[in-house]
Amino acid sequence: MTKRDHAQPAPWKPSLNPGVDLRSLPLTPEEGFIASRLDGLTDLHGISVGTGLSPERVEEALERLVTLGAVSPPEVPDEDEPVAADEPAGVHREVYQSSLRQLPPEERATRAKLADEPELSALCFDPLPAVIHALIDNPRFGLPQARLVASHHRTPAGLEALAARAAIAADAGVRRALLRNPQLSIALLRRLHGGRRLLEQHKLVVSRDVPEQTRRAARELLRARFSTAEGEERVEVIVKTEGRCLTSLAGLPVDGKTAALLCGRIYSSTLLVQNISRWAACPPALISHLLKQELVRRSPALKLALQRHPNAPADSRR
């Protein structure tokens, strides 16, 4: 293994963002207590030990603080993020523009099959799918070149050819670059992301790192996946996004199991309850359950929003 293969991200040591006034945030006492212990020097395990709370409760509170903007998320690569920076693309692009661009397409494709560096990476900027096909057949073609193609090639056919190789499509850097590429086809997006968990799919729907057409296609994937997902996964995406996902899921009902799981929770997030109160498909049983929550009983605005919901049981409107 290379040194890069062994590299592990440093533990997250959360701290409050500058200027945050905890008193202005809708925090539970436990969340406020955890927030007061954040110093930027202690990791999640240390916070758990110092507060006497379980790691799961600490992590849940930190997710809430991140959502409210009080804490910045951990700066570690996720599964769709390259673990190391590649060589600047401008160097390879310059070689292509100065030495290869003017050659006939057939010659560029022939050279692509046998090229070595720096020509190998330079040809990753070729606009023709035939050249990309030839590059992929080159035994020297590896992940650094695949990331260049995924980032800079501008034909769906070329991107499809790249992602047809399972080992290439599985690379985090390649996947991330493909998702950012405006020429990513819906069919390829479905192959790359269609089987992901709902929470991951929602992140793509709201990501500002991908083109608008990709976000729209991702929203349709999310809706299709939500319709067939297990109740636990549906609840996970609703709760962990604090109901933000419900905007993308408008018109989709939930089954009895999902409703029962939602009714089995204690709610301490004002934003989550607000978003559920705007959810047209909210089950009547969930509205009744939310009206019994301490958070709602203390908030006339939340109570009124739930009572005005079209699905609110008649006896709850009194």
Mean pLDDT on 103-107: 92
52: left (phi over 0), alpha (psi -120 to 50) or beta: left
SS3 16: strand
Which pLDDT score, from 0 to 100, does residue 82 have?
41
- Is 79 a member of any domain? no
User: What is the number of structural domains in the chain?
Assistant: 3
Do residues 253 and 186 both lie within one domain? no
pLDDT grade, residue 114 (50/70/90)? Answer: very high
Burial of 183 (0-12, 13-18, 19+ CB in 10 A): middle
Asked, for residue 223, whether it belongs to a domain, the answer is no
Q: How far apart are CA 278 and CA 157, in angstroms?
A: 42
- In a domain? residue 311: yes
pLDDT in tens, 138-159: 999 999 999 999 999 999 999 9
Same domain, 31 and 99: no
Asked if residue 98 and residue 44 are part of one domain, the reply reads no
**Tens of pLDDT along 258-314?**
999 999 999 988 999 999 999 999 999 999 999 999 999 999 999 999 999 998 988
Is residue 123 assigned to a domain? yes
93 and 55 assigned to the same domain: no
What pLDDT, on the 0 to 100 scale, is given for residue 88? 61
Residues 171, 113 within the same domain: yes
- Quick one: 43 and 120 in the same domain? no
Inform me whether the pLDDT recorded for 218 exceeds 90. Answer: yes
Tokens 């296609």 belong to 217
**Domain range for residue 63?**
22-67
Q: What is the DSSP string of 70-134?
A: SBPPP----TTS-SSPPPPHHHHHHHIIIIITTS-HHHHHHHHHH--TTHHHHGGG---HHHHHH
Q: State residue 2's pLDDT score.
A: 42
Angstrom distances, CA of residue 144 to CA of 82, 168, 174: 10, 10, 9
* Mean pLDDT value of segment 194-220: 90
